[in-house]
Structure 1
């Protein structure tokens, strides 16, 4: 056997991960990057390698890790189908502004362009999904490329990077070793801009603060939360960013997303000044770009975002600035506008409180009561995860988030996200409760990662909300194509999820009534192993105040 260089590109890559504080890698192993796996074997005491059952699960775990820690989540997959399976996590990281690095094994450089086994041009495939997609072509530049990946993922609007690893270069000399961790550059607000915000705020009668995006520190979120509460500035949180501030704050007005409070919608429309920090103000927070008006935003919107490309992308601004969310929040929290809006804040929070009161349903399980029970019994630092589907509307409306880093949910609307996210979260915080709320169709897209949880002793709790249908799509079919026999491709034949969980070695319990849920949840939390609550719900109760018709006659 040919003697291999001691400091190969594969080893330099792993050294760079160690230097930058990466403590776990989510992967599906592949022959195309065996050299990297071998290098990881030498740092088991510093990097835990979690082998997953599908690349989509691994990529979603890495994305959730990035959301939760602020460090790039690292995923490793093999070439071709491994990479395309993982693309869902890259798309979510892009939409959600999450730092992430996907390493993809690649054919040998010498075989490029031949249509080799599983050959893919990753620059082309991921060019529109990632902030940067590249391939290491010179082994001695490995550290340079990986360090640039860290900087790219973390600077400006955070996002994913994809690096292809030709298998032949991984064995070559890797060049210089990493010296220090990457320190991302962060833009701050110009003092003149802060003064302009103060002047505009001082003259506003109906101001509103909207927070969203990524890159928030707990210190900065607390500072701007305390400031806004002290001056009575109503605050709304963007789509699936409900954990940026405690929902119990006296000025909290609710979240902007799917199915928002009608009174919050009116408050946004009536605002004569909107200060948006971090939020992109994209399709979901603006109700399909209908909530805001371009003519009005030109005179009422102050937009602060870490990515300059987002400023003026859709909405003209009164004034805008490129800045890191945390640095911007700390600067704004020093403003003294010389007045307050406490009566408006009190009214906004009262509207929020009224909106989250339980609602009536037709079935035996009332999801508004189920979700409210979670807030009553779980610690403030419990992490709630979900994928996509109308089941999530119950969670987002009725659960009170009281601490940062307690919500993991895809703004990309990716089904199957919730369970891998829960596995990642529980692996990072084994001492915290991690509850995944999943729809039946949603869960089975990545439910096989229950095997990963059992293998590594990652004791997640999952509530599978089973209504036997792709309910969101059926609801849209009935809305847009009404009439007998027009629904199609939405009925589901589900397994017995209790038996499913038990087949993996997990705990399972079935629940069919609201009053039985507290005991089922307690049993799952105390199981001492991964657990699943199979919650049977009626498809007629598809979402708060929304029903699917015609099911009783079936």
Structure 2
């Protein structure tokens, strides 16, 4: 006999949960007490629920197991919604446990009462509320399974206070085994037949339902077929970027040569990719409702197959079992060696660092130097903003997993993701790249990194503005900046105030030296990289970098 909160902690331990990310709240004190007795679960106390939820999402993305976040009722839950949306959009397994008012008070409008089904119903994969402590193992097991099966996603389970306080005799249950969708032999035969008939094929890999084994099989299949591989936006680590078949990223700021290549191909084998507007340049590359090239679509999400583009065939399967099955087949390259070589040459040309003096050339040189400075298995994280364009274009991502970045375009993701990465893989180097606007959305989590003595590096690119919005503003309206100028702290002093190591770098040479010192430091380090405000994107400068008089704010950065 124990209370429901202890049962929740025991059940998480039975699932093999190694970390829980939370902001403590009085609505789930029994769970905290239960976690205190679980030696195998690290309870990571965060500074805001949005950061905690993003850490849980990053954990799920890295491990394939649901990342667990626990928050208090109402304001805690609404703060966590930003991380839940990232998990939904990007297809990441996640479990959000939320405190709830006692059952006897539901519907009375009591302090911090919220209808979680109504609030999360449109963004979570499943939302439920416990009403009996004896059913907690059942509900948690179902939540664990729903989060992982099919297209992964977040599950929200509300836990009323009196359910957590009530005695429970229920036994914990084992973790439900995942049930990956597998291709049937007939469909696999059609894939092989289509490849045999193709002359200009390419493989498009994407989505987050991937694993290291899936990435290894992708490299094997691509190598045996001599097939060019294009990856979706922020899925660059699906194939080591130094692999001779790696042919670039179908995402924001796409290489025009790559866009033409996709449109000119006669077969697109899409594995795990949802073929959204970012991947297809606003749905233009594949011409809905029937694409120009033949499309074979492999996706563990039946509702998304044939949603916009007609696939022939459409296979409801996860990337790993599909690629495993394909690797077992007799694979021979077709008459497309020159096609693959040209695709690879285009990718290398697009990655090249521009000449000194061109817009953003200093940032490009910094990002291009990362692979040489970092260990081979380093994990690089980022949030959203134009600063990430340089990273995605010039950095060479290594073997899976080496990239944590939100396809949802959520600012503030990089630092929480870096914390989760370092906890999940303490043996790996972790670097977070953030813009000044992006970092300060969850910057208080630097205190979490310091508290847990996590050796990670934060590189903040500081142009004193919301650069992406300024770019769109300039293109649409021109004129002076308005409502995009930021008042930033001295980031070096700011980081040191948390207890982190910090210094400033202004060019590629000083950046590489600073990065070496940061990687050698046993705790969190920050490198501040100030850039001119007129630099908006590679090759693009703002002709009117000065702020509007009504928008002018001081900047503490020297």
After TM superposition, the score normalised by the length of structure 2 is 0.95
Find the partner of 1:154 among 141, 145, 148.
148
Matched residue of 2:69: which SS? strand
Match in the other structure for 1:390: 386
Provide the rounded CA distance (Å) in 2 between the counterparts of 1:213 and 1:477.
30
TM-aligned CA distance change 1:532 to 1:111, over 3 Å: same
Question: Which region of structure 1 is more displaced relative to structure 2, 248-257 or 411-420?
Answer: 248-257
Provide the rounded CA distance (Å) in 2 between the counterparts of 1:231 and 1:90.
38
Provide the rounded CA distance (Å) in 1 between the counterparts of 2:104 and 2:76.
21
Match in the other structure for 2:167: 173
Provide the rounded CA distance (Å) in 1 between the counterparts of 2:103 and 2:76.
19
- Contact 1:365/1:536 (CA < 8 Å) preserved in 2? no
Provide the rounded CA distance (Å) in 1 between the counterparts of 2:232 and 2:31.
39
TM-aligned CA distance change 1:166 to 1:411, over 3 Å: same
User: Alpha-carbon deviation of 1:546?
Assistant: 2.0
User: Alpha-carbon deviation of 1:175?
Assistant: 4.3
Matched residue of 2:286: which SS? coil
User: Alpha-carbon deviation of 1:8?
Assistant: 2.1
Deviation string 1:175-218 (CA, Å, 9 cap, x unpaired) is 42123221021211010000011111111111110111123232
Match in the other structure for 1:283: 277
TM-aligned CA distance change 1:186 to 1:166, over 3 Å: same
User: Alpha-carbon deviation of 1:383?
Assistant: 0.4
Provide the rounded CA distance (Å) in 2 between the counterparts of 1:129 and 1:180.
28
Alignment of 1:221-370 (within 5 A): 221-297=215-291, 300-336=294-330, 338-340=332-334, 341-360=336-355, 361-362=357-358, 366-370=362-366
Match in the other structure for 2:504: 510
- Contact 1:368/1:394 (CA < 8 Å) preserved in 2? yes
Find the partner of 1:131 among 125, 128, 137.
125
1:108 aligns with 2:99: no
Provide the rounded CA distance (Å) in 1 between the counterparts of 2:321 and 2:203.
16
Provide the rounded CA distance (Å) in 1 between the counterparts of 2:510 and 2:78.
42
Matched residue of 1:216: which SS? coil
User: Alpha-carbon deviation of 1:428?
Assistant: 1.6
Find the partner of 1:522 among 492, 516, 525.
516
Matched residue of 2:541: which SS? coil
TM-aligned CA distance change 1:261 to 1:319, over 3 Å: same
Match in the other structure for 2:433: 437
1:498 aligns with 2:508: no
Provide the rounded CA distance (Å) in 2 between the counterparts of 1:272 and 1:337.
19
Deviation string 1:95-139 (CA, Å, 9 cap, x unpaired) is 010000000001111110111101100001000110001111122
User: Alpha-carbon deviation of 1:333?
Assistant: 2.1
Deviation string 1:292-324 (CA, Å, 9 cap, x unpaired) is 212542861100101111101121212101112
Structure 2 unmatched runs, 5+? 549-558
Aligned length: 546
1:372 aligns with 2:377: no
Match in the other structure for 1:404: 400
Find the partner of 1:15 among 6, 10, 16.
10
Match in the other structure for 2:458: 462
Match in the other structure for 2:555: none
Structure 1 unmatched runs, 5+? 1-5
Find the partner of 1:35 among 19, 30, 38.
30
Alignment of 1:87-106 (within 5 A): 87-106=81-100
After TM superposition, the score normalised by the length of structure 1 is 0.96
Match in the other structure for 1:426: 422
